[in-house]
Amino acid sequence: MDYLAGLNPSQRAAVEQTEGPVMIVAGAGSGKTRVITYRVAHLVRRGVDPFNILVLTFTNKAAKEMRERIMRVVGDEAKNIWMGTFHSVFAKILRVEAEHIGYPRNFTIYDTDDSKSLIRSILKEMQLDDKLYNASFVYNRISSAKNNLISAQEYSRNEQIQAEDFSNGRGQLGQIYLTYTQRCYKAGAMDFDDLLFKTNVLFREYPDVLHKYQHKFKYLMVDEYQDTNFSQYLIVRKLAAINENICVVGDDAQSIYAFRGANIQNILNFEKDYPDLKVFKLEQNYRSTQNIVNAANSIIANNKNQLKKNVFSENETGEKIKVCRAFSDNEEGKIVAEAIAQERALNGGKYRDFAILYRTNAQSRAMEEALRKINIPYKIYGGTSFYQRKEIKDLIAYFRLTFNPNDEEAIKRVINYPRRGIGDTTVDRILIAADQHQVTLWDVISQASTYLDGRSAGPVGIFATMIQGFQVVAKGHSAFDAAMHIAQHSGILKNLYEDKSVEGLSRYENIQELLNGIKEFSEREDIEEKGLDVFMQDVALLTNDDNDKDPNADTVSLMTIHSSKGLEFPHVFIVGLEENLFPSQLSLNSRSELEEERRLFYVAVTRAEKKLTLSYATSRYRWGTLNNCEPSRFLDELNPAYLELDFKPRTVPESTASFADERQAWGQRDVFTKPKPKVPPKTTAILPKAHTPTPGFTPSDTSNLQVGMEVEHERFGFGKVINLEGSKNEIKATIFFRELGQKQLLLKFAKLRIVG
């Protein structure tokens, strides 16, 4: 029993309660994995046959880690425990029982790409518009239906669903779902969602099979129960119906996957399913400092729909949470990068001790560029580096073709993306013609009627004309205007905009973020040449990776907050804490959606062990327009006793400042005064206007500019010159602007109007 000696009283009580329904509410950093593994080990030590224990997790990594820990206590017997993800465990059961529901035991499992490919074939056969019936959208629609146990037949019979589909011009979704189901069945294939859907069908249609597994799995444990969907919930409930030796472990405060179908009510209402339930709360946080834990508590206290608990820490008090304000997202990246460099210079440590968390993948661009500029190594966790993402590479390929039409790789990448009737056969003909006549691919494409037959020449010629048009635009327009023109007229923007899936929205946002970066490049005052070709050179240098594949490399971790769940780092930066970004604008339609965003913020905060920094920008580009931003309402909800502002408020002492004070000091409308409305308004807050230049604004001759002079800048507003340095064409002016504070500008690019 020595393995129990290291547990605190709450942990030990949860481990030793092996019989009956149990719910373990595990706060962040409370030793949840240790409790699960020791509880399973304790069952085996008490004589329970490992073959009668089922442990369900959400990741293979979690299952592997748990099994290894159990083996240290009970030895090789741990190998006999049924342990794994929901999908892996029930795929194993279906391999044995599939013939009951008409599938072969060696059925194929389709991954997402397989499923989407089949859907595209069905759309083509049904002669449906693949823009209106985008394959990703259709796939997600079918997936959502299956996770809610709605079969293809039920989908087509449901009047409410049909009315919604027809109102959106997608009345054929039911038929697509039915055809997709039939084709999978005919091919002896199940998709990822079928592994749970078909298990439910199996247990419903064949009570004897359900009875078999109810008696086999005498003890059930479910990790991360707050992340279960309806399909998973029903399987677990059926399996536990006879013995009721079910233990679920989770934290409602960390339920952040509603977009995947997770239902927080599964854990909130667990006691209704099992009136004899015993509840254990793991409330001691072993991960974070007291300041971080207390701050996290002050955030989640604002959620009404939750299981109450008092998470605490006996670790050191720790440093206060630093809050940084930046003028732009690029400046925010610079602040974060310099903070990492300074921390290592002063206190040592490894780069792997640092993590930068953001709400959306698109935010990684500014962070990546800032880290690269001062040679800080980084790794994108759970995603792809910004400039390596497919949609970014697709648009950049168009840029490359605009300046170098002989770029064969760029041609092959985008000649039929978005689709324009140039299939693989036509591409093969282009390749053959170029080889036979010893000319470039572009020679064939630009003279399609000479080298190709009439049927192929038409769409290829249209493509060539489009690229030639891009070349003309690029020569006479700014980098941003040229890039926006190419993004629009290539069809990429339209293609991604019409993909309403979660993935499609993310890709659309990434293109927007690339264009934002080009807009900022176009307005830089420290460079003279600002064409799109110069930007492309910068990108080529920026993305020249060393391809270091060492998983133990000492790098800063960049990731979305969703990807960070289950991880921890000594130093964490949470960036982009602005209204309509975090919380997301899409979450402001209901209290439940806003509360999920708040749980996401709670998860982010509790990833930090020693130091936590929060940051936001007062302005961000959106489609080439600079928008003012308001600090996130979540910053107001943090107890100011645990915060340290790295900027001085204009009107109040730092020790008593709140973010409401900050907004008031900037002359912004305070939309966060208490009490807040019960349901957040559907309309977004009215943002303050940026500086409006004086009518007839014309830059002055600044050759005789002197310290003490008042000046006006088109974007930054009014300010006073406080220092001048350098000589001739390299004079730098340090100016204190009334609204933005101190900035240093290269005078020859600054475009200042001397006021007096």
Token look-up 């991960």 returns 287
pLDDT in tens, 700-710: 988 888 888 99
Strand order across the beta sheet in which 741-746 lies: 741-746, 732-737, 717-725, 710-713, 752-754
Amino acid letter, 262: A
For the CA atoms of 596, 602, 605, 608, what is the dihedral angle to 10 degrees? -110
Q: How far apart are CA 654 and CA 661, in angstroms?
A: 10
* pLDDT band at residue 690 using 50, 70 and 90 as cut-offs: low
Is 29 flagged in the annotation as binding?
yes
At residue 182's C-alpha, the angle toward residues 134 and 128, to 5°, is 30
Residue 435 has pLDDT above 50, yes or no: yes
For residue 699, whether the previous peptide bond is cis, meaning omega lies within 30 degrees of 0, is no
pLDDT in tens, 448-502: 999 998 888 999 999 999 999 999 999 888 899 999 999 999 999 998 988 877 7
Q: How far apart are CA 199 and CA 56, in angstroms?
A: 15
Question: What do you get for the CA distance between the two ends of the chain, in Å?
Answer: 82
Q: What is the 3-state secondary structure (H, E, C) of 80-132?
A: HCEEEEHHHHHHHHHHHHHHHHCCCCCCEEECHHHHHHHHHHHHHHCCCCCCC
Residue 668 has pLDDT above 50, yes or no: no
Q: How far apart are CA 627 and CA 585, in angstroms?
A: 15
Residue 623 has pLDDT above 80, yes or no: no
Is 682 flagged in the annotation as binding?
no
Crossing angle of helices 135-147 and 173-186, in 10° steps, is 80
User: In 3D, which of 163, 152, 129, 130 has the Cα closest to residue 198?
Assistant: 152
Residue 283's contacts (CB-CB under 8 Å, 6 or more residues apart) are 10, 27, 30, 309, 310, 311, 312
Is 26 flagged in the annotation as binding?
yes
Chain Cα centroid distance, residue 661: 31
At residue 331's C-alpha, the angle toward residues 723 and 288, to 5°, is 125
pLDDT at 383: 61
* pLDDT band at residue 307 using 50, 70 and 90 as cut-offs: confident
What b/e readout covers 489-528, taking b as 16+ CB neighbours within 10 angstroms? ebbbbebbebbebeebebbbbbbbbbbbbbbbbbbeeeee
pLDDT in tens, 564-617: 988 999 999 999 999 999 998 888 888 889 999 999 999 999 999 999 999 999
Collapsing DSSP states into helix, strand and coil, what is residue 669? Answer: coil
pLDDT at 88: 85
Is 32 flagged in the annotation as binding?
yes
pLDDT in tens, 315-362: 999 999 999 999 889 899 999 999 999 898 888 889 999 999 999 888
Q: How far apart are CA 635 and CA 620, in angstroms?
A: 18
Q: How far apart are CA 699 and CA 754, in angstroms?
A: 8
What is the helix (H) or strand (E) element at residue 466, kind and residue range? helix 454-476
Is 530 flagged in the annotation as binding?
no
pTM above 0.85, yes or no: no
Q: Two tokens at 93? A: 């059961």
Residue 687 has pLDDT above 90, yes or no: no
Q: Two tokens at 164? A: 């919604």
pLDDT at 677: 38
Q: How far apart are CA 643 and CA 238, in angstroms?
A: 48
pLDDT in tens, 497-550: 888 777 788 889 889 889 988 988 888 776 667 788 878 766 655 543 333 345
| Contact in structure between 94 and 195 (CB atoms under 8 Å) | yes
At residue 522's C-alpha, the angle toward residues 518 and 523, to 5°, is 120
pLDDT at 448: 92
Percentage above 90 pLDDT, the chain: 43
More confident residue, 226 or 530: 226
Give 402-457 as a DSSP string. HH-TT-HHHHHHHTTSS--S--HHHHHHHHHHHHHHT--HHHHHHTHHHHS-HHHH
Q: Over range 416-439, report the average pLDDT.
A: 90
Q: Over range 427-441, report the average pLDDT.
A: 88
pLDDT in tens, 364-422: 889 999 999 888 999 988 666 678 788 998 999 899 889 888 877 788 889 999 999 89
Beta strand segments in 158-251, E: 189-191, 219-222, 246-250
Tally of helices (H runs) and strands (E runs) in the chain: 32, 24
pLDDT at 5: 84
Q: How far apart are CA 177 and CA 498, in angstroms?
A: 20
* pLDDT band at residue 672 using 50, 70 and 90 as cut-offs: very low
Q: Which residues sit opposite 246 in a β-bridge?
A: 220
Is 741 flagged in the annotation as binding?
no
DSSP strand pairing (710-713 vs 717-725): antiparallel
Among all residues, which ones are annotated catalytic?
32-33, 223-224, 254, 607
pLDDT in tens, 258-305: 877 888 888 988 989 899 999 999 999 999 999 999 999 999 999 988
pLDDT at 540: 58
pLDDT in tens, 46-94: 899 999 999 999 887 888 888 888 988 888 888 889 998 888 889 889 9
- In degrees and rounded to multiples of 5, residue 687 shows phi and psi of -85, 150
Q: How far apart are CA 378 and CA 356, in angstroms?
A: 10
More confident residue, 108 or 157: 157
Round the average pLDDT of the chain to a whole number and report it. Answer: 85
* pLDDT band at residue 689 using 50, 70 and 90 as cut-offs: very low
